[in-house]
Amino acid sequence: MHWPFCTARCPYCDFNSHVRHDPVNQKEFARAYARELSHFARLTRGRTVQSIFFGGGTPSLMEAETVQTILEAIAGNWSMDPEVEISLEANPTSVEARRFRDYKSAGINRVSLGVQSLRDDALARLGRMHSVSEAKLAVGIAQSIFERTSFDLIYARPHQGPKEWEEELNEALGMAMGHLSLYQLTIEQGTSYFDLRAAGKLAMPDADLSADLYLMSQQMTAAAGMPAYEISNHARPGEESRHNLLYWRYGEYVGIGPGAHGRILQGDVRHAISNQKLPETWARQVMEKGSAIASDERLTWEEEGDEYLLMGLRLREGISPERFHQLCGRRLDERQVNELKNIGFVQILSNGNLRVTDKGWPVLDAVVADLAM
Ligand SMILES: C[S@@+](CC[C@H](N)C(=O)[O-])C[C@H]1O[C@@H](n2cnc3c(N)ncnc32)[C@H](O)[C@@H]1O
Ligand code: SF4
């Protein structure tokens, strides 16, 4: 579920986010979400909902009533796993933290907070609307209301060295309950950070320093009992996000809302679907014809195999060579696998899965490229 609105645009962000100066008519949007849900329910009959994720944009700007309407529409359209994971991504301002209890009443059972940094100067440079103390308070409130919580930090930021990151990550590990996401800052085209870097005004860490910070993050989280289960996601065993795992295990998911992406099977063809990005266009089209699809691509077997590698090799559990074969009808190139094994970038696990090693993770893109078509 993509909620596309934000209070302000962060200078590093290239997600589908929109700032509106007039209040958003949430009732109208809720109706459009419900309408789009019934459209996709007709295409995915017989499936059981395992997880729901409200991402953004800033879903914590949604009124609890809007969340509830959407959850009721989901429950009315599909059967739900009794253990369904229902996460909501929240920005840690005090205004938003006040809504947490109502979100729980609406059905949310997991909250993920966009803390981004535990340093006020860094938060200011990232253009965030919250302070460190506000973020800590929001994490505490979330932890007292929800059994399962997570928060995100961005590292490899300008002006950040190993010592600074070590101290900050230690503090974060002291705060985290079961799950923590650590993202290396990426500079995306079309963002203000992209222009700043091009103008030489962003002191980004070089590749060696970024790799050191990455390794340090892996070691410190593992030592704290929250190892990486995916390249940027860390959890105590059993606390992994089921929703994240479903993406990386190449499951089926419906993307609802402006700019959302989905992967659904129709017969034995996997469709890659993406929605109109502009919220008002999306809502109008959904109300007119039930959906607002910008592209619907029938993936070839080769593309499915490549996507499975791209997603699955991010996971510590790796990929199943058998499933790869079932998806795309070819086997992994044994010579290529052996070469990668010999340089220590991949290993074969006792269950037959192939996984990227700690040494291979920093060069994951190259490993995927070697194994893909
Ligand atoms: C959908 S985004 C934002 C969710 C929420 N609106 C917020 O800002 O906290 C999810 C996460 O992606 C990460 N992220 C976004 N842009 C990034 C970038 N350019 N580099 C690294 N991480 C990024 C942030 O940690 C963020 O919390
Ligand atoms: S980082 Fe989050 S709050 Fe900032 S613009 Fe992107 S989605 Fe919105």
Q: Is 87 in the pocket of ligand 1 (CB under 6 A)?
A: no
Q: Is 37 in the pocket of ligand 1 (CB under 6 A)?
A: no
Q: Please check whether residues 97 and 243 belong to one and the same domain.
A: yes
How many angstroms does the Cα of residue 152 sit away from the middle of ligand 1?
8
Q: Please check whether residues 24 and 135 belong to one and the same domain.
A: yes
In this prediction, residues 48-69 reach a mean pLDDT of 97
Q: Please check whether residues 83 and 166 belong to one and the same domain.
A: yes
Question: In the prediction, which pLDDT does 362 show?
Answer: 87
Question: Does any domain span residue 188?
Answer: yes
Question: Does any domain span residue 26?
Answer: yes
Residue ending a domain, choose from 216, 248, 280? 248
Q: Is 247 in the pocket of ligand 1 (CB under 6 A)?
A: no
Distance of alpha carbon 187 from alpha carbon 195, whole angstroms: 9
Q: Please check whether residues 26 and 115 belong to one and the same domain.
A: yes
Question: Does any domain span residue 363?
Answer: yes
Q: Find the ligand nearest to 154 CA.
A: 1
Q: Find the ligand nearest to 91 CA.
A: 1
Q: Find the ligand nearest to 9 CA.
A: 2
Q: Which protein residue has the closest C-alpha to ligand 2 atom 5? A: 9
Q: Please check whether residues 33 and 115 belong to one and the same domain.
A: yes
Q: Which residue has the tokens 């109008």?
A: 284
Question: Does any domain span residue 346?
Answer: yes
Q: Is 58 in the pocket of ligand 1 (CB under 6 A)?
A: yes
Which among 119, 224, 200, 129 is positioned nearest to 165, based on CA atoms?
Answer: 119
Q: What is the pLDDT of residues 235-259, one digit of tens each?
A: 999 999 999 999 999 999 999 999 9
Q: What is the pTM of this model?
A: 0.96
Question: Does any domain span residue 25?
Answer: yes
Q: Please check whether residues 235 and 331 belong to one and the same domain.
A: no
Q: Is 59 in the pocket of ligand 2 (CB under 6 A)?
A: no
Domain that holds residue 329: 318-371
Q: Please check whether residues 322 and 217 belong to one and the same domain.
A: no
Question: In the prediction, which pLDDT does 95 show?
Answer: 85
Residue ending a domain, choose from 196, 231, 248? 248
Q: What is the pLDDT of residues 9-39, one digit of tens each?
A: 999 999 999 999 999 999 999 999 999 999 9
Q: Is 154 in the pocket of ligand 1 (CB under 6 A)?
A: yes
Indicate the number of domains in the chain.
2
How many angstroms does the Cα of residue 173 sit away from the middle of ligand 2?
23
Distance of alpha carbon 50 from alpha carbon 287, whole angstroms: 27
Query: Mean pLDDT, the chain, as a whole number?
Result: 96
- Residue 89's domain is classified under what CATH number? 3.80.30.20
Q: Please check whether residues 195 and 71 belong to one and the same domain.
A: yes
Q: Which protein residue has the closest C-alpha to ligand 2 atom 6? A: 13
Q: Is 301 in the pocket of ligand 1 (CB under 6 A)?
A: no
pLDDT higher than threshold 70 for residue 87: yes
Q: What is the pLDDT of residues 280-301, one digit of tens each?
A: 999 999 999 999 999 999 999 9
Q: Which protein residue has the closest C-alpha to ligand 2 atom 7? A: 57
Q: Which protein residue has the closest C-alpha to ligand 1 atom 1? A: 56
pLDDT higher than threshold 70 for residue 373: no
To test the pocket of ligand 1, the residue of 183, 202, 261 to mutate (highest count of ligand atoms within 8 Å of its CB) is 183
Q: Is 112 in the pocket of ligand 2 (CB under 6 A)?
A: no
Question: Does any domain span residue 294?
Answer: no
How many angstroms does the Cα of residue 58 sit away from the middle of ligand 2?
7
Question: Does any domain span residue 20?
Answer: yes
- Three-class HEC string of the chain: CEECECCCCCCCCCCCCECCCCCCCHHHHHHHHHHHHHHHHHHCCCCEEEEEEEEECCHHHCCHHHHHHHHHHHHHHCEEEEEEEEEEEECCCHHHHCCHHHHHHHCCCEEEEEEECCCHHHHHHCCCCCCHHHHHHHHHHHHHHCCEEEEEEEECCCCCCHHHHHHHHHHHHHHCCCEEEEEECCCCCCCHHHHHHHCCCCCCCCHHHHHHHHHHHHHHHHHCCCCEEECCEEECCCCCCHHHHHHHCCCCECCCCCCCEEEEEECCEEEEEEECCCHHHHHHHHHHHCCCEEEEEECCHHHHHHHHHHHHCCECCCECHHHHHHHHCCCCCHHHHHHHHHCCCEEECCCCCEEECCCCHHHHHHHHHHHCC
pLDDT higher than threshold 90 for residue 142: yes
To test the pocket of ligand 2, the residue of 1, 3, 5, 9 to mutate (highest count of ligand atoms within 8 Å of its CB) is 9
Q: Is 55 in the pocket of ligand 1 (CB under 6 A)?
A: yes
How many angstroms does the Cα of residue 39 sit away from the middle of ligand 1?
29
Residue ending a domain, choose from 200, 228, 248? 248
To test the pocket of ligand 2, the residue of 10, 24, 129, 193 to mutate (highest count of ligand atoms within 8 Å of its CB) is 10
In this prediction, residues 190-204 reach a mean pLDDT of 94
How many angstroms does the Cα of residue 75 sit away from the middle of ligand 1?
29
Q: What is the pLDDT of residues 309-347, one digit of tens each?
A: 999 999 999 999 999 999 999 999 999 999 999 999 999
* Atom of ligand 1 at shortest range from CA of 193: 19
Q: Please check whether residues 219 and 352 belong to one and the same domain.
A: no
